[in-house]
Every structure is written in structure tokens, then in C-alpha cells.
Structure 1
Amino acid sequence: MMMVSSRMAGSTLLRHLGPRLFSGASAVRGAAAAGGPACSSLLSRATASEPVPLHQRLFPVRMAGTTATPAVGGDRGQDEAKPSAAAKDATASYWGVQPSKITNVDGTPWRWSCFMPWETYKADVSIDLKKHHVPATLLDKIAYWMVKALRVPTDIFFQRRYGCRAMMLETVAAVPGMVGGMLLHLRSLRRFEQSGGWIRALLEEAENERMHLMTFMEVAQPRWYERAIVLAVQGVFFNAYFLGYLVSPKFAHRVTGYLEEEAIHSYTEYLRDLEAGKIDNVPAPSIAIDYWRLPADATLKDVVVVVRADEAHHRDVNHFASDIHYQGLELKDSPAPLGYH
């Protein structure tokens, strides 16, 4: 009985797949008619009596549907491959849905794929830059002097090369928000509870710091050994911060708060050199103009001003998060501060 059913199943499978397996040309022609230009290469191969691979005979239409849509712009707003308008119209995304055309507020095409127009904002440059959290407890003092110790090798290595210094700083500064947001996300799933908006706040902080990096990549291109240092520093810092956050979130947030204070100091020194003419005040990168909604004639000085304001916001958020833990509360018990918009 089992052998009869197996034979019936085999004959049914052969009846369905036979035309695709053994009549490659006709199957590919049908796929070309359904898939359009994306299957033209398969059709030409089939009509030329060239053997068509098995996976292409079985799934020709699926392969045509998974053709990637050319990205409009990149992290630097450059479209290296510029296909024709007909090719763009004929090419579908993975799910078969044409991407919507995104425009700027002035109606011009949006150049970036790393952030959208509704994610841009004007930085609050009026924020208090001199605010400092005086270390009161033992953990505060450990966090403060740890950050001060980390500044020494940074000063020795980069000295007055603030463009490269900012680039290195942002590769590290984008780690705490991602680690904190990830761990809060997992805890929210485990405990079936809300996060008070802190997951989004910390992930927004990480994304904001990453956009700082994308901006300064346009200002200072890293050398090969600087890239190697980034790999080493990020590998060590990510794991250390991850373990530190598991042990004591209040200590981890306090460390980040002091790191942001040092970032404010570094960007202040950067501005002094720009104003003194020691560093060329070049035009602002186009990605920075769109991200912070800067005027078209903005300069590098304007970029450093808004980045420093962002760092001051991160400083206040992380010190506030640490204070919540010192009060015996969870982050979910106090709403997260507003974002950057």
C-alpha cells in the first residue's frame, strides 16, 4: 500500500514539474512573458538551444522578481550606476512593489538612502554646553576618571587633527546607545513590559552618532592604520560596555555621560582652530546640510556647532538615565526625553 501511494505521489510530482524540467525553452519563454525584460537573457539562451540550469528552469519568475532595485543615492548621495528610466520601471523590488519616489520639501529628488526627509531636524544650539555632573558616589568617580584616562592616549595620537579625531570618536560614541537599546529591547521581551520609550531614545542616539560619522567621513578620509585602530577599539569597547551594562546600567550610562562631556570639549577645541584659521573652514558636506537642515552655504564650522549640540543632548540623556537608576527606579518608570526632531 505504501509503495502504491509513493508511486502515485511520484507520478503527480513528475506531472507538475516535468514541463519545467524537460522543456526548458517553452518554460523559459513563458517566464519571459511573465517576468518581462528581467528574463530576456534566459529566453535568448533557450532559443539558442543552450542548456538552461535546473534552478533557472524551476524558478525563472521568482528570479526575475528578486532583482534588486537600484538605490537612488548612497550614504554620500552618489549614484554610481545610473540605469535608464525604462530599466528602473521594469525592475521590481524583492516583494514586487515599486519603491515610492521620495522628494525633498522643495520638490527635488531625495538623494539619500541612509535617512529620510522626515528624520531630519534643526539642532538646538542654545543647549547649555558647560553643564557638568559632579561625581558624588564611588561609581561616579570611577566612571569620571576612567573617561579622563581614556582621553590621554587619544590626545597623544591625534593631537590637533580634529577631523580624524572626530571620526574616531563617533565610531565609539555610536556603540552605547545601540548596546543599551538592544538590552532594553530584550528585557522588554522577556518581562512582557513597556520600556517607557527608552528603547527608541537610545537607538535614536546611536543612529544620530552614526550620522555624525557619515558626515566626518566626508571631511577626513581615514588612513589604513586608523581603520585598523577603529576595528580594535570598537571590538574592545563594545564587549566591555556590553558586560558593564549587564552588571550596572547606571554605571554604563554615567560613563557615556562623561564621554559626551569630553566630546563637547573636543568639538569646542575644533571650533577654536576653525575660527583661528588653523583649519580650513570648507563648505559643509551635502549630507550634513540635508540632515540638519542647514542653509545651502553652510560651512564646516556650522556642522561642528550642530554636532556639539547633539553631544550635549546625549550627555543630558545619559546622566538622566543614570540618575533614574540611582533613585532605585527602572528606565520604564520615567519617560524618555524627547528626540532630536
Structure 2
Amino acid sequence: MSQTAKKWLDQLPKHRMIMDPKSYRMVHPVYSMRDIETVPVTHRKPEGFRDYFARGFVRFTRGSFDLFTGYNEKQMSANQWMTRAIFLETVAGVPGMVGGMTRHLRSLRSLRPDNGWIHNLLEEAENERTHLFIFLELKKPKFMFKTMVMLTQGIFYNLYFISYLLFPKYCHRFVGYLEEEAVHTYTIMLKQLDEGKIPEWSSLEASQMAKDYYNLGEHAKFREVILSIRADESIHREVNHHFADLKADQDIEHEEVHVIDRETRKQENKA
């Protein structure tokens, strides 16, 4: 394994991959809570115009969204947090699908294998979509919110698709910086929860969907779900920054992870 690959793999939170064909989901990470209680809020130092532009655009977009939604890092209500999380996850599920689809078509027309990119990108898209549906179990958006989601998706999908065709490395750097912001946001959410500023969530039990997806214990709380989601975002952060450093036809070097089935994990939880 190259030193570059080892460096980025070392940034990933400790995890295992779970496989359950009955759930109709791809293999995805599951975690031990002690391994993800602290996830570093890292920042990739920009190098060159492409990186600075990507970081600047992410900061501008986030700043505008924060201003529009009244984001406050000191205190927000459970309803404000849920609205923010749901909207952001509808956006976060787009890049992986666009990248995976684009590289799939590229592989077909070039008659060459993809070297591991497609699977990683599609798993990212499904993972973000699952975050969305976990949050939707706690809040049902109204008509105006759904309209905003439709408009945002229509604009963002097409812009990202065109950008990915022309500048795929820039797009991965953009998503890497976007995921840096996601990790920061979920860290602030956890901080407010631990400080008792979101009392509705202090004893809230994790939904069955979240328990099944992350293979959490029977009495798992919503806090464990947020920890798991933050860990997912940190993986997306490092993966996309790594993809931005690679050439388009370069192989993906994977970490060695232990794949378990759901029954094995259930037995571990009982133990």
C-alpha cells in the first residue's frame, strides 16, 4: 500500500462493514460507540486555485444557508436542527449518485473497468439517503419545505453533473470540504445535546430503522445515531479528498475491514 493511501486510511474512524441482503442495502460501516465518541474536525489545507475555489464556494454556500435559516452554534431547538439536517441530507445524497453514474457510463463506453470508484460513490449516496430517512421519522416536512427541496435538487443536480463531466477532481474536493462542514455541524449538534440544550433528545430512543442500519443495541439512544452519522460523514470527507488527489484511471486502495453479517452483530450486541 502506498504512503498516500495509508495516510488517508489512517484518518478514517475505526469501523467494520455489515452485509444484510434482506435489507436491500449495500455493505456499509457500523461502529463501536467508544471508537467514534470523538471524531476529529479536520480541515484539508488548500493547494492551488482549484482547492481554494472549492473551499471558498463551500464557505459562501454555507454562510448564505446559515444566514437564511438562522443557524446558531450556541443554541438551536430540536425542530430547527431537524429541519436543517433533513434539508442538508437531501443535498448530500446527490454527489455520490452523480459521480457513480458518470463513472459507470464512462466505464461502459471506454470498455475498461472502473477500478473501484463506482461502488464507493454509490455507497456514499445510499448512506446519505439513509441519513435522510432516519431523520424523516422524527419530522414530516410540509409543502413549502418539499417545494424548496425540489427546486434545490433540480438546480444542484444539473450544475454538479455538468461540473463533474468537466472537472471531476474539483467536484471531489468540493464534496470533501462540504463534508468537513457536515462533521463540524454534527459535532455542534452533539455539543448542544450534551449541554442539555435539546431536552427533547436527551432520552429519545433511536428509531428501529437507525437500530437496524447501524446495528445498534435494543436500548440505543438518538445520540448514538448522531455519533454514527457523524462518523459516516468523516469517512465521506476523507474519501472525497483522496479521490481529488487521484488520477481518473487510478485504482482505489481500500483499507482492510472485517465484513460481518447482521446475525453476528446481533449476537455481539446481546453479549
Indicate whether the TM-score tops 0.5.
yes
Specify which of 45, 48, 52 is matched with residue 137 of structure 1: 48
Match of 1:153 in 2: 64
Asked whether 1:216 is paired with 2:118, we answer no
Asked whether 1:272 is paired with 2:191, we answer yes
Q: Partners in 2 of 1:155 and 1:340 — Cα distance?
A: 39
Match of 2:113 in 1: 194
Q: Partners in 2 of 1:187 and 1:336 — Cα distance?
A: 20
Percent of aligned positions that are identical: 40
CA offsets per residue over residues 72-106 of structure 1, 9 Å max, x none? xxxxxxxxxxxxxxxxxxxxxxxxxxxxxxxxx9x
What 5-or-longer segments of structure 2 have no aligned partner? 1-18, 260-271
Contact 2:41 2:184 in 1 (8 A): no
* Amino acid in the other structure paired with 1:140: D
Q: Partners in 2 of 1:340 and 1:176 — Cα distance?
A: 27
CA offsets per residue over residues 104-135 of structure 1, 9 Å max, x none? x9xxxx9x97635x846413644852221111
Q: How does 1:277-292 map to 2 (within 5 A)?
A: 277-279=196-198, 280-281=200-201, 282-292=204-214
Contact 1:201 1:336 in 2 (8 A): no
Match of 1:48 in 2: none
Larger radius of gyration: 1
Report 1 or 2 for greater relative contact order, CA contacts < 8 Å, sequence distance ≥ 6.
2
Asked whether 1:233 is paired with 2:155, we answer no
CA offsets per residue over residues 189-247 of structure 1, 9 Å max, x none? 01100111111110011011110011010122222211111111111110110011011
> Given the two structures, how large is their TM-score scaled by the length of structure 2?
0.77
Match of 2:245 in 1: 323
* Amino acid in the other structure paired with 1:147: V
Match of 2:7 in 1: none
Contact 1:198 1:336 in 2 (8 A): no
* Amino acid in the other structure paired with 1:231: M
How far residue 154 of structure 1 moved from its aligned partner, in angstroms, is 2.0
What 5-or-longer segments of structure 1 have no aligned partner? 1-104
* Amino acid in the other structure paired with 1:306: S
Asked whether 1:115 is paired with 2:24, we answer yes
* Range that drifts further, 222-231 or 183-192: 222-231
Specify which of 198, 216, 220 is matched with residue 294 of structure 1: 216
How far residue 158 of structure 1 moved from its aligned partner, in angstroms, is 5.1
